[in-house]
Structures are given as C-alpha cells and as structure tokens.
Amino acid sequence: DAGITQSPRHKVTETGTPVTLRCHQTENHRYMYWYRQDPGHGLRLIHYSYGVKDTDKGEVSDGYSVSRSKTEDFLLTLESATSSQTSVYFCAISGADSSYEQYFGPGTRLTVT
C-alpha cells in the first residue's frame, strides 16, 4: 500500500469554526490532491498541488484553502465550516507521469453541526 495517511479520520465541528485536515505521504510523489465525496456523487476535486507551494483549484474549491510547505504534507483548511461541507474527504497522491495511477488515503469523515 502507498504510504499515505490522513488525520483526523473523524471530526465533528460546529458551524463557523476553522478546520484543518492533514494529508501525509511517504512516497515523495509530486502531485497531491484533495477530493470530497457526498452521497449520490462521485469524488469531486477541491484543490491539488503539483509541487511545494504550487497549488491550483479544482471544481469545488469555494470555501476551502490549501497549503503545501513540504513535499510530504498537504493541508486542507475550511476557514469557517458550514453544514454543506459535511462530507468524506479523500487525499490522493500520484507521480509525475500522466499515466501514473493515483493512490488514495483512507478518508476523513467530517460532520459540521
């Protein structure tokens, strides 16, 4: 299994509070991604990174920010959590070639009350 972990694995928070999710990899892969998954939907890309301090928006980036100060860590921050951000969040990593597969973490279940 690819060395990718997510923390926390579960979190319950209140509306309006800031939340940071962490993705950590031990594979030294260049690309890292944050997705969310809601019932009835496939995974939707929030943000991705193609190198340290290099990030870009995905299709559902509103309300989220990211940072990548080290190759191994990719942080997802909800500045002020809302109930619509209740979801399961997956981190993924991949190498530099477009044909390379993405490896996914175990997911973080976030509930905003």
Q: Which residues bind other proteins (CB under 8 A)?
A: 31, 33, 35, 40-45, 48, 50, 58-59, 90, 92, 94, 98-99, 101-107
Q: Which is nearer to other proteins, 79 or 111 (CB)?
A: 111
DSSP state of 84: G
Least distance from C-beta 58 to other proteins, angstroms? 7
Q: Which is nearer to other proteins, 87 or 94 (CB)?
A: 94
Residue (of 106, 85, 80, 83) closest to 36 by Cα position:
85
Least distance from C-beta 101 to other proteins, angstroms? 3
Q: Residue 55 has which token pair? A: 């990030």
Q: Which is nearer to other proteins, 47 or 78 (CB)?
A: 47
Residue (of 77, 83, 88, 65) closest to 18 by Cα position:
77
Q: How far apart are CA 38 and CA 111, in angstroms?
A: 12
| Residue 90 near residue 76 (C-beta atoms within 8 A) | no
Q: Which is nearer to other proteins, 8 or 50 (CB)?
A: 50
Least distance from C-beta 107 to other proteins, angstroms? 5
